[in-house]
Structure formats: C-alpha cells, structure tokens
Amino acid sequence: MYRELQQQLTEAVRKILKTSWEIEIGELVMEQPPELSMGEFALPVAFELARKVRKAPRLIATELVEKLRAELPPETGFAAFEAAGAGYINVRIERARLARTLALETPSRHKAGGPHILVEHTSINPNKAAHVGHLRNAILGDTLVRILRATGHRVGVQNYIDNTGVQVADVVVGFLHLEGKSPQEIDALIESCEALGVQAREERFDYICWRLYARVSQWYEEGTEEQQRLRKSLRYETLHAIEMGEVETALVADRISTAVLRLHLLTMQRLGITYDFLPRESEILHLKFWDRAFALLKESGVLYYETSGKNTGCWVMTRPGGGSATEEPDEDAKVIVRSNGTVTYVGKDIAYHLWKFGLLGADFGYRKFFEYPDHTCWISSMTGESEHPNFGGAGAIYNVIDARQSDPQANVVQALREMGHAESADHYTHFSYEMVALTPRCAAELGYHVGEEDRSRAYIEVSGRKGFGVKADDLLDKLTAATLKETDARQPERSGAERTKIAEQIAIGALRYFMLKFTRSSVIAFDFKDALSFEGETGPYVQYAAVRARNIFRKSGISPEQALDAFSTMDLVQALQSADDLWAIWLRAARRDPMLEATIQSAEPATLARYCFQLAQEFNNFYHKHHILTEENEARRTLLLATAAVALRELTTLLQWMGIEVPEAM
RNA sequence: GGGCGAGUAGCUCAAUUGGAUAGAGCAACGGCCUUCUAAGCCGUAGGUUACAGGUUCGAUCCCUGUCUCGCCUACCA
C-alpha cells in the first residue's frame, strides 16, 4: 500500500504539472521529511520548477498544494499537503489505514521464479584455516543470497575451490619435503585429526596447515641461494604435478585440500552459511573447459598472439579501456596464455564464467559431497552421478570477491563482452568489498611483532604467508565464551544446553552484524574490543530488542498475531495520528520492502543492517516510554500490543535476512 | 608513472545517491532499576565534511587542481 500511495502521488503531480504548466518531468524525486511530524513524503519538485515557471519555489509549492488537495481528496488515503521550508511539499497520509494493511500483511508476499541467479562466495584457498577476511566474504555473500531469495529469486550458491593452485602446492611441499612425510603419513595425520574432532582447535588439520604454510613460505626465503633455487623449483614442480593430476603428488594435494575444505564448510556452518555447489579448479582443468574457452576466444578475436615486445609468444587480450591504434605492441595487454603454453588464472576464470552463463558448451560431472539438514551440497568431479541439479546457465551472477581482484574481474567481463555476450556481461556483478585488516594493537595482542613503521598505521593487512591473522573459529570461540559468561550470569535458571545455545546465537549475531554494518568500500580495521562489543550498534542490541518484544507476549496472554488481528478491527485513527513514537515503528514496517530493493539495487547490505538497528532503537524507545501490560485502557493496550507485535515481526524478518536468530532469552 | 578506493566529532563509521538543523555507536561527563529484562533509556559536550577554486535555488555528494593514506598495476594465483 505504501508503494501505491507513492505511485498515486507521483501520478497526481505529473498530471498537475502537465495541465497547469504543460511541463513533463523525468524522474520525480520523492524523499522523506527530516522529522516524522512533518509527514511521510517530501517533494522538492518546486525547486526544480522555479526556473521554468519563473516564480519563487515557495509560491509554486503553495500552488501545487492547492491542486494536490483537489486531486487527492481524503478518501484516497492522503491526509494533508503543505508547503514547508523554502519550497518543499510535505505530504501526510492517513496513518491508521496504512497500519491496518500492515497488520494484516502475510509473510510470503513475493512469488517464486524470475531469472536464475548465481552467487559465488567464500572461495577460500583450501590450504589453511579460514580467517576474519574470509568471514567478511562469506557473511556478505550469504546475506546477499538471503535477500535475493527474499525477493523471490531462484539463487544457487557456489563456493569456488582453487584446489590446484600454488597455495595448495606450498602446503604439499611443506608436508612432503620440509617435514619429509610420506603420503601414507599425511593420510594418517588427516585421519587422526578427524578422529580428534573439530573441538581440538590447535590439532585441527586446517590449523596445522595454517602453521605449516607460514613455515614453508619462510623456508623458501631462507638458506643459501642454491637452496632457495632448489626449493623454488620444488615448488613449481609440485604445482605442475598437481595441475597434471593422477600422479601421487596430485593425489596427496587432493586429500589435503579436501580435508581442509570439509573443515571450512563446518566453520561456515557454525554461522548458518551453506552452499549448493563446489566447482573445483581441478575439473576446470581436466574437463578441458579451458581448451573450449581458448577456441572461442581465438575465434572471436578477443585473444591475439603477440609477436613483439615483452609479451612475445603469449596469447594476450587488451585490457578494458586499453589498446591503441598504433603499430606498437600493447605492453599493457593482459597475458592469458604464457609463452610456455600454460594458462593464467584469468584464462581459467573466463572459461569458468562462460560455464556460469551456459555459454561454454561443456558441463561438470557432479557428485554429492556434504549433507546439510535441509539440502545437499554437490561438488564437481570428472565422472558424476547421472541425476543431479543444474548449477550453471545463470541469467545473472554475483561474485563476492575482495576489491583487490577488481582488475582480473574486469578482464573477465571484458572478455565476455568482446565475445559478443553483452547480455551476460551486463548481468555480471563483481560484488566487491575491502579487506579486513588488523589494528596494530590487535596484532600486538596476538603476539605478532609489530614494526616501528606499522605501529603508526591505522591497520595492518593480514597475511596467510606469514601466518598473520585471526582465525575464524578462534574468533567465534572468543565471542561464544564472552556471551556465555554473560548468559550464565543472566539466565541461571536455564539449563547448560539452553545457555550454550543462546550464547552461540548471540555470538553469531554479534559477528554477522559486525561484518555487515560497514559499507563495502570501508576497510575493516579489526579489533577484539569492537568485535566483542555487545552494546550500541551491534547484533546483540537488535536481538535484545526482539527478545524484549517477545517477553511482552509471553506474559500478556495473547499472541502477536492475535494482537494484530484485534488491532485491525478497531478504530484507532486518532491514537496513531498523534503518536509519532508508535508510528515510527509502523512506518518502518511500511518502508521495509522499498529498503530491501534499494539494498539489492546498490548491493549494499550495510543499508539493511542500519535499517534494522534503527528499528531496534525505535522499539527500545517505545518500550521504555510505554508500559504495555499495565495499560488499563483496553483500546490503548491493543494499540500498544499491536505495535510491539509489528516490531517483533519486522525485527525477526530483518534479522533473518542477515542470518541472525532471535534467542529464547537474553 | 597509470587505474581504483578512501579522507566527515577524540576513536570507529553513516548520510535516502544533489535537499530542510551533517547523524549513530564507542569513549567522556551527568542522570534513570519496587516496572513487560539496565546487553536498556534520557541528557551534556564534541564539526571550517583534508585543502583551494568552480557548477546552482542548494554541494559531504558533481567538475578542476593540490595534499595524505590504502589497494591494484608480474609470462604469481
């Protein structure tokens, strides 16, 4: 109904402009007045007209107000129009009417269907434990998935696994050559780690790999020049063997990366994050995706063979905005196939993205890999099961990848466009975000040596190679321990299991909200002090508001649904019209869907987080000001209960979109 | 050198994409628990939106220039 009112208003203004001044306006700007008391909509249109009509904005506004009153009489749902400020037109609506439709709103308003959207997120190299940076990625991605699904889209979730890359190779080198383990010993280690379970943090396989990866990276830099040369060549031989597949080194790599991958899935599952499909680089290589893509790229002329300059002997492609008409070789061109015939990462990525849009003419094999309570996660394989869901052929894609990769991402889009797939290129979104770094203080707390230069910086970049960073499970453990301490103190009458569950829900709420409240372009300078905060603009603050709302109904004797039903049949026109503190909550419910659309439009989940927080603030305000259960006036009590009910409903919905649950108690 | 992003209160961040008095949270100070839970609420203080011009009814936002910081820019992935 909110939408309909906006539309009616827009049309009325257009009509008036047309008939009175013969003016057609492109986009009619509609805003919200700075104060609730000023109304629901604000139109700055008079400012724009001032020049055309050659009159003061305020006069135009006054004139428009007169005409709007005639055009939109009270029975249309509009209550008042007035000229305000230097020439704004403020519009009030009949609050009770809008509130009534909101009270009766059913949760599933969006129809299923629409284009198939593919979201790729997480994509952690399977050679070490996940860290805070990966958490930002996965939480942003998972939230994007949730809000896309909330608007009725069919969404497939993919987690790309680079299981044949240099990072995996490094850990393989570490086990085989630095530690001198046999493949059998590595298998035994993986098995014993799995037997210990994920609770034995430091003995987890991904934690062992974390430490080993740092050691190997250092090992490459140490020793005599001759040793370094040997170690480097060991590294590239290993990488090459892994890429080839089938040989023993490749099998070892596969076992290591698969073991780490399983742990990543468990870590993310703690946060309520799941996947549908895990495409792996090994299949992209061995199913000859690249060969097909290479042929298509050559055919379309996107790739050309460089015969002079520094890239002689390579297949290269012009960068977006690059290239020149001169005879000179384009030194800035992106190398896709090296002079030794091997393909670069961007090349493989182009092949993968052709597959995503169903443009490659080849498909993965699929087999089941991981079971969630409500669905199966599939993984790519050479020979798969005959029955499997369809994961490619998307109409639109979102790649949740940090901002440092915007260059290669742009190359992939460029390739698609030049190959003639403009439609696909237009529906390719690099959902970019800045990294999570550590504050110098946080780094010092973790026991890392912070150099003189770093100490004055705002943040220090994490580095897997240096083993420098905060591991995801360690952070979750810390958060859970902190929330459990509080929960134990606050909820002594509840069982240990109940308290643990509540503490975990709050910990997840804190973490997920923390990662979402920053806009994507903001580097998060991570600090335990901020992340472990449960007051103010945090997830627990919002959860607490919802828990309070629910407590009211626990003691009131009626359910939120009954409260809303009772409200919808009562005449409460006056009560709501003059109560801005209650109306704030109803209006926020009304603006939820437009907000969600804006969130998707701008691909900025921070908008959602903020909206949710503001609603929680408004509810806490309301909660403090009105004592509901002791209210003696029956009608007033109904109004208050219904307001609490709609707040609870909205908070629950918004939190759910962010992957945050409302605990039983706090 | 080139490309992208950022610079807003002591700190961390917002600002409906050009609108009304630039807002929140921390931190500081002062209040509020016999109430549906104080993980809460109220109040005070805190600003030349990096700097200089420009565009217009109107600029934190757009344009130009300058300064500072970060990232990217390899036949690494």
Q: Any idea what the CATH number is for the domain that residue A30 is in?
A: 3.30.1360.70
Tell the burial category of A150 from Cβ atoms under 10 Å away from its Cβ (0-12, 13-18, 19+). middle
Q: How many domains does chain A have?
A: 2
Is residue A264 domain-shared with residue A174, that is, in the same domain?
A: yes
Examine the pLDDT at A325 and tell me if it is beyond 60. no
By residue range, what is the domain housing residue A25?
2-93
pLDDT at A111: 63
Is 70 exceeded by the pLDDT of residue A114? no
- Closest protein residue to B24 using CA and C1' atoms? A537
Strand B: which residues 18-57 of A lie within 7 A (CB)?
Answer: 29, 31-35, 38, 42, 44, 47-48, 50-51, 57
Residues A260 and A170 occupy one common structural domain: yes
Question: Does the pLDDT value for residue A107 go beyond 70?
Answer: no
pLDDT digits (tens, 9 = 90+) for A398-411: 999 999 999 999 99
CB-to-strand B under 7 Å, chain A 233-262: none
Query: With bands split at pLDDT 50, 70 and 90, how would you rate the model's confidence at A120?
Result: very high
Protein chain A, residues 82-101, with a C-beta closer than 7 Å to any atom of nucleic acid strand B: 84-86, 88, 90
For residue A46, is pLDDT > 90?
yes
| pLDDT score of A87 more than 70 | yes
Confidence grade of residue A450 (pLDDT, cut at 50, 70, 90): confident
pLDDT in tens, A1-26: 899 999 999 999 999 999 988 888 88
Q: Are A78 and A176 members of one domain?
A: no
In one-letter notation, the amino acid at residue A10 is: T
Q: How confident is the model at residue A597 (pLDDT cuts 50, 70, 90)?
A: very high
Residue-by-residue DSSP string for A412-481 = HHHHHHHTT-HHHHHTEEEEEEPPEEE-HHHHHHTT----HHHHTSS-EE-BTTTTBS-BHHHHHHHHHH
Whose C1' is closest to the CA of A545: which nucleotide?
A: B40
* A380-388, Cβ contacts within 8 angstroms, sequence gap of 24 or more: A380/A277, A380/A278, A380/A279, A380/A280, A380/A282, A380/A283, A380/A284, A381/A283, A382/A283, A382/A286, A382/A287
Say whether both A179 and A79 belong to one domain.
Answer: no
In a domain, A531, yes or no: no
With bands split at pLDDT 50, 70 and 90, how would you rate the model's confidence at A72?
very high
CA of A58 to C1' of B55 (A): 24
Q: What pLDDT score was predicted for residue A571?
A: 79
The answer to whether residues A166 and A262 belong to one domain is yes
Q: Is pLDDT at A262 greater than 90 in this prediction? A: yes
Query: CA A56, CA A68: separation in Å to the nearest integer?
Result: 18
Residue A86 scores a pLDDT above 60? yes
pLDDT in tens, A519-551: 999 999 999 999 999 999 999 999 999 999 999
A162 band by pLDDT with thresholds 50, 70 and 90: very high
Confidence of residue A574 (pLDDT cuts 50, 70, 90): confident
A6 beta carbon to strand B: under 7 Å: no
Mean per-residue pLDDT for A281-285?
A: 94
Q: Mean per-residue pLDDT for A331-353?
A: 93
User: Mean per-residue pLDDT for A70-88?
Assistant: 94
Long-range contacts of A560-563 (CB under 8 A, 24+ apart): A560/A644, A560/A645, A560/A648, A560/A649, A561/A645, A563/A638, A563/A641, A563/A642, A563/A644, A563/A645
Q: Output phi, psi for A36, to 5 deg.
A: -60, -35
The answer to whether residue A262 sits within a structural domain is yes
CA angle A492, A506, A137 (to 5 degrees): 160
Nearest protein residue by Cα to C1' of nucleotide B2: A332
Please indicate, yes or no, whether residues A171 and A263 belong to a single structural domain of this protein.
Answer: yes
Output phi, psi for A467, to 5 deg.
Answer: 65, 25
| DSSP characters over A463-495 | BTTTTBS-BHHHHHHHHHHHHHHHHHHH-TTS-
So what's the pLDDT on residue A110? 61
**CB within 8 Å of A383: residues ≥ 6 apart:** A365
Q: Residue A527 CA to B28 C1' — how many Å?
A: 21
Q: How confident is the model at residue A614 (pLDDT cuts 50, 70, 90)?
A: very high
CA distances from A539 to A436, A513, A659 (A): 19, 5, 11
pLDDT in tens, A361-396: 999 999 999 999 999 999 999 988 989 999 999 999
Q: How confident is the model at residue A569 (pLDDT cuts 50, 70, 90)?
A: confident
Q: Are residues A79 and A167 in the same domain?
A: no
* Residue A125 belongs to a domain: no
The answer to whether the Cα torsion of A257, A259, A262, A263 is positive or negative is: negative
Point out the nucleotide closest to A628 (alpha carbon to C1′): B36
Residue among A140, A146, A144 nearest A518 (CA)? A140
Is A631 part of any domain? no
Question: Can you tell me the mean pLDDT for A596-611?
Answer: 96
Residue A178 lies in a domain: yes
Contact between A299 and A287 (Cβ < 8 Å): no
pLDDT at A448: 86
Confirm whether any atom of chain B, the nucleic acid strand, is less than 7 Å from CB of A340.
yes
CA pair distance A65, A185, nearest whole angstrom = 82
Looking at A93, A113, A142, which one is the last position of a domain?
A: A93
Give nucleotides in strand B with any atom < 7 A to a protein C-beta: 4-6, 12-17, 19-21, 24-27, 35-37, 39-42, 57-58, 69-77
CB-based contacts of A401: which residues, under 8 Å, 6+ apart? Answer: A120, A123, A137, A409, A430, A431, A432
Check residues 402 to 441 of chain A and report those whose beta carbon is under 7 Å from nucleic acid strand B.
403-408, 434
In contact, A513 and A140? CB cutoff 8 Å:
no
Last residue of a domain, one of A257, A274, A291: A274
**What is the pLDDT, as a whole number, of residue A195?**
94
Q: Closest by alpha carbon to A65, among A98, A35, A39?
A: A39
Residues in chain A: 666
Helix H or strand E segment including A259: helix A248-270
Tokens of A340: 């030794």
DSSP code for A176: I
Measuring from the CA of residue A550 to each C1' atom, give the nucleotide at the shortest distance.
B36
Q: Å from A498 (CA) to B36 (C1')?
A: 22
Residues A164 and A89 in one domain: no
Nucleic strand B contacts from chain A, 488-507, CB < 7 Å: 490, 502, 506
Q: For position A42, what pLDDT does the model report?
A: 96
Q: Do A169 and A259 share a domain, yes or no?
A: yes
- Name the nt closest to A503 by C-alpha to C1': B39
Q: Which of A91-95, A222-226, A269-273, A534-538 has the lowest mean pLDDT?
A: A222-226
A555 Cβ nearer than 7 Å to chain B strand: yes
Q: Give the confidence band of A109 by pLDDT, cuts at 50, 70, 90.
A: low
Q: Is residue A102 part of a domain?
A: no
pLDDT (average), residues A231-243: 93
Alpha-carbon distance of A118 to A537, in angstroms, equals: 31
Same domain, A74 and A164: no
Answer for the pair A189, A205: CB distance below 8 angstroms, yes or no.
yes
| Percent of chain A at pLDDT exceeding 90 | 83
Give dist(CA A418, CA A411) in Å, integer: 10
Structural domain ending residue among the three candidates A247, A274, A301:
A274
A254 within domain boundaries: yes
Residue A510 confidence (pLDDT) above 70: yes
Nucleic strand B contact set for A 455-474 (CB, < 7 Å): 457-458, 461
Closest CA to A357 of A317, A331, A396: A396
Output A176 or A330, whichever has higher pLDDT: A176
Residue A461 falls within a domain, yes or no?
Answer: no
Taking each helix axis from N to C end, the angle separating A166-173 and A225-244, rounded to the nearest 10 degrees, works out to: 120
The Cα A409–Cα A432 span in angstroms is 10
**CB count, 10 Å around CB of A451?**
10
pLDDT band at A334 (very low <50, low <70, confident <90, very high): very high
Provide the mean pLDDT of chain A: 93
Element (H, E) at A593: helix A592-602
